[in-house]
Structure 1
Amino acid sequence: MPSRIHIRAGDSIAALAEATCRHLQSVGAGGCQLRELTDIQESLHALVEGFNNISLGEQTLKQLQFGWDLFLTYRAFEEARLHFITALARFPTSRYLLRELAAASTLAFVLPRSGDANVLHWGANGTWAHVTPPKVSALAEAFDGWETYSTVRFQQPLMFLSEEEPELLRAHMPPHGFFPCGEIRTTDSNVGILGLVYEHRLQHDMELIQVLRDLKLIQASTAEGAIAAYSRVLGSAEHVDGGFLRPTHEHWHSLYPFHNRRLYVHPSPRLSLPALNPYAELDIQLLRSQAPTPASSRAGGFLATGGVLVIDHLLSGDALMHLRDFAELSTIWYQERPHYLGAGFSTGFSSPLLAQIAEELQGLLADVLCDLPLANVWAFKYEDGSDMGIDLHADAAAVNVNLWITPNTVNLDNATGGLVIFDASVDERSSSFELFNQVGFDTSRESALSELISRSGSANVTVPYRQNRAVIFDSARIHTTQRLDFKKSGVRSRRINITFLFGAKGTYCPLRRAATVVLDE
């Protein structure tokens, strides 16, 4: 977990600079020469001065962003809660600040805390153990917790922004700061940090609202208000390089009741019958690259010899139908990227059916999933007509299960649209691992990953797209999306992939040991 330095009112900049220097020395990131100490002091002075020179409303926005960063990135709940409480104490009538505090308090019961000794013990040679065996109900409880959090945080306001938050507006908090963030890392939020939004995001949301209106799944008044707001912004907001729009303050006021809101979440309950098809009805292949000596995997089981498991017809007909409706019709796609949208635990992609599927996957794939907790689940929905997928990356987990749910009829080229999984892997023990799992294109990351791929002779397993196909592989393997060629025919034809990430990085089942054994060592 990354370290952090806190600056509180009244703190000595000189003392903080010295503490920062000592920390850098302790992690081998540099010395603490006079020039370095002076540079750190100047940086801290500039940071404090910059914060003090902005309005109280802007300070409140930064405080919220820092609080969520402490909460979601560092799992420092008590420190994060202080930021929310301090902000609310300044503006006690703010419903927005109260919702943020309530959402954080709800989620605190779900997430493991930084420094908790009751999650994992690490032993020699990468061995690990659960300190306390996971409860049978742990996975379902995690989904329920995230669902409750998102219900609180992304609920639709009952009033317009000017009516609900007059004090914060008078304190000059920018209107774009009132939109709850769906990102795990607040620094990934274009709206909260920059006041920008991708044009394709607003176009998608407006089309989805139109579909929901036509299906009579939301109130006509809500639909008409949202469509009018989206049309106004799409028609008059300033275009910015990179596919962004820069809405005006007036635009953000009009979007306030609709943007990043749970206007509609399609029911997706547990099924009375299994969500996965019977084993005899599954079409299972273990694919390997053509390399003379394919890379091995510490994930063990059927992945031990470097294979990629492909399962066709994974979900039952009912499960696939319910999952598609939930993913296609729910207004939970709050994560924006240049050519696709994302949803995950942090946006409310956490239905009971998803929990059931994850539980049944653990039974089906017990060799490599054993009792690993579900680290995350997310989904990506691609821009209509886009031919670009996800860049090269590796995931911070033990095992990936990637599932595709869009019908084959909208895929115009059945040789593409899937995944390329390279033999090359990122060492999960490397201190630079997080570099390979960042949002957006990064030249240094692409160069480092390309170098790893080149060393392995670019050997890979390529798996074309098929609906209801699951692809299972070691999360440390470098992978990327194939070129896309999907029919441009509306919001319900977009390619959607769902990823279940099991286990923390390095927690492979063959390395699992009893906690008492690890402690004895």
Structure 2
Amino acid sequence: MTSQNQNDLNIAIAAFQKGELDTAERVCINILSRDSCDAGANYILALINGQKGLKNVAINHFREAIFIAPEYFNYRIALSSYYLEINNPESAIKELEIVLSKVPDSIAAHTNIGTAFKKKGNLEKALAHFDKAAFLFRKPQDKDFINNNRQNEVHPTFSMTRETKLEHDIQQLEFLQSRYPSNVIFSQYANKMLDVLASFRSRNINNGLGSFSELEYEKIYDFYNKILFRPILHDESPILGDHKVNTLLSERFDYKADDIVIIDDFLSEVSLVNVQRYCLESTVWFDTKNDSGYLGAYMHDGFIPSFTLAIQPALREKWEKLFLGKVLKQLWAFKYVSEGEGTRFHADDASINVNLWITPDNCCLDPENSGLTLFPINIPENIAFSYYNNDKNRLNDLIKGREREKLIIPYKCNRAVIFKSRFIHKTSGCKFIPGYENRRINITLLFD
């Protein structure tokens, strides 16, 4: 590539990143008029036309970039992302299988092919690739390896944190040390994090998201936000419990029978104990959500409890009318501080939500106000989902004046609330006994 083409490509990239698509397109066309074999210009044109909705033009430019630079596998990965965006998982898989045959440890390729298999309903293959991606991204490294690669930019998940996140991680490491006393590494990690917490707390207020200082980072970079431990557990069949529909609660609310279903004894006793243990012991709580102090763990990033593969067919068999033809689209869990706020009002981009609580009832000090707040009001179908979900004022406008329709569903361990995903809802604030094992944990499954 000539220096002029490189300079122009940098201009095109900057324009594209600022949303100036016409400028970026014009610069790329000029580059190709001088050199039709410029892979970078074709790649930017692919992204531009993808944003404009010109699918065939975008794919042709991706193909041209790949033909010119077949050894640059990021072009194939980007094409696979576009195929996923336009709901063509089969074509995405073909591209990604080529990448993985040459670069078997590509985190992006494993993540994308996992998403593609999930879209096709092949959850077993999806989970295998998600787990591989999470392991590659978050495996603990010895310090010599990391020091040799320190020139690479550090991902924010490893360089930023909150006070409540550090407090949780210290509590979890101390809990693991008590469970597995022969593994002294947990207490060693906890002591290092205690040192970091003291200095981090002194300069960060209101639980704000902040970067580690260089000295703090040096102490913990080989293990912070890494997959240090996950117990290997096996659920026994059946994984579902008795599924007692809570008619007493249902009678308090006025809604269509299948719009909201409140089920107690959702998981079998063995499955409940296993998922409780998994959530307490697994070091997969990487996402520090906001100033409220709750943490998130996700299916694509190491959170794969033992019931994950079996839950979809089990629910189809138990609730055929609700789940027939539906596939598990997303799975996550949130873990909260002992007392504080919940989530904000939102809706989810799926067909059916299953919201499950797993912390024992004796840990909850205020069950009436520590559950779920729900308005059986849909986000409008004919407007982009993000238009409402990313703007709390628009959501508030939808529920304004409709307070009488609000449902407050109390907390109960092993209670699941099944409802339409586009209903406006939030996890309520919580009041639980202080202590690591007493934190409220709720698990959300989305089906579509």
Instruction: Give the TM-score taking structure 1 as reference length.
Output: 0.64
CA contact (8 A) 2:171 2:436 kept: yes
Which one-letter code corresponds to 1:283 in the other structure? V
Give the equivalent residue in structure 1 for 2:274: 322
**Residue type matched to 2:133 in 1?**
Y
Considering Cα pairs closer than 8 Å and 6+ residues apart, tell me whether 1 or 2 has the greater RCO. 1
Kindly tell me: are residues 425 and 67 of structure 1, through their superposed partners in 2, closer, same or farther at Cα, counting changes over 3 Å? farther
Contact 1:289 1:459 in 2 (8 A): no
Match of 2:183 in 1: 219
In structure 1, the partner of 2:418 is 472
Which structure shows the higher helix fraction? 2
Q: Which runs of 5+ in 1 are unaligned?
A: 1-6, 25-65, 86-97, 120-133, 180-189, 297-301, 439-444, 504-521
Q: CA deviation at 1:397?
A: 0.9
- 1:423–1:456 contact (8 Å) kept in structure 2: no
| Contact 1:333–1:341 (CA under 8 A) maintained in structure 2 | yes
Contact 2:235 2:274 in 1 (8 A): no
Of the three residues 435, 440, 444, the one matched with 1:495 is: 440
Contact 2:347 2:423 in 1 (8 A): yes
Q: Which amino acid in structure 1 is aligned with residue 327 of structure 2?
A: P
1:269 aligns with 2:234: yes
1:356 equivalent to 2:310? Answer yes
Question: What secondary structure is seen at the aligned counterpart in 1 of 2:114?
Answer: coil
Deviation at 1:283, TM superposition (A): 3.5
Deviations 1:182-214 (A, max 9, x none): xxxxxxxx546xx43111111111111111111
Shift of the 459–246 alpha-carbon distance from structure 1 to 2, 3 Å rule, reads same
Residue of structure 2 equivalent to 1:141? 125
Offset at residue 217 of structure 1 (A)? 6.6
**Distance in 2 between residues matched to 1:255 and 1:68, nearest whole Å:** 32
**1:209 counterpart = 2:173:** yes
1:451 lines up with 2:435 in the alignment: no
Are 2:77 and 2:109, in contact at CA under 8 Å, matched by a contact in 1?
Answer: no
2:114 paired with 1:150: no
Q: How many residues align?
A: 378
Q: Deviations over 1:457-500 (max 9, x none)?
A: 55122210000100000000000122311111x21110000000
User: Retained in 1: the 8 A contact 2:299–2:330?
Assistant: yes
2:21 maps to amino acid? T
The answer to whether residue 430 in structure 2 is matched with residue 430 in structure 1 is no
SS at match of 1:110: helix
Q: Which residue of 1 aligns with 2:216?
A: 251
**Where in structure 2 are the equivalents of 1:299-310 lying within 5 Å?**
302-303=257-258, 307-310=259-262
Against the structure 1 CA distance between its residues 478 and 326, is the aligned structure 2 distance closer, same or farther, given a 3 Å change threshold? same
> Where do 1:15-164 residues align within 5 Å?
20-21=21-22, 75=84, 101-112=105-116, 138-157=122-141, 159-160=142-143, 163-164=144-145
Shift of 1:448: 0.7
Give the Cα–Cα distance (whole angstroms) in 1 for the partners of residues 405 and 358 of structure 2.
Answer: 27
SS of residue matched to 1:109: helix
- Code of the aligned partner of 1:109: I
CA–CA separation in structure 2 for the residues paired with 1:288 and 1:367: 21
For residues 252 and 82 of structure 2, the distance between their equivalents in structure 1, rounded to whole angstroms, comes to 36
Partner of 2:48: none
What is the CA-CA distance between 1:323 and the residue it aligns to?
Answer: 0.8
Distance change in 2, residues 1:388/1:230 (3 Å): same
Instruction: Tell me, in whole angstroms, the C-alpha distance in 2 between the residues paired with 1:409 and 1:459.
Output: 30
TM-aligned CA distance change 1:223 to 1:424, over 3 Å: same
Structure 1 residues 471 and 459, CA gap change in structure 2 (3 angstroms):
same
**TM-superposed deviation, 1:154:** 1.5
Which residue type is aligned with residue 223 of structure 1?
F
Secondary structure at the counterpart of residue 430 of structure 2: coil
Sequence identity percentage? 24
1:414 aligns with: 367
2:245 aligned partner: 283
Q: Which runs of 5+ in 2 are unaligned?
A: 26-74, 86-91
Q: Which amino acid aligns with 2:9?
A: D
- Cα deviation for residue 104 of structure 1 reads 2.4
| Residue of structure 2 aligned with 1:236, choices 199, 206, 222 | 199
Offset of residue 72 of structure 1: 7.4
Paired amino acid for 1:377: L
Cα offset for 1:144?
3.0
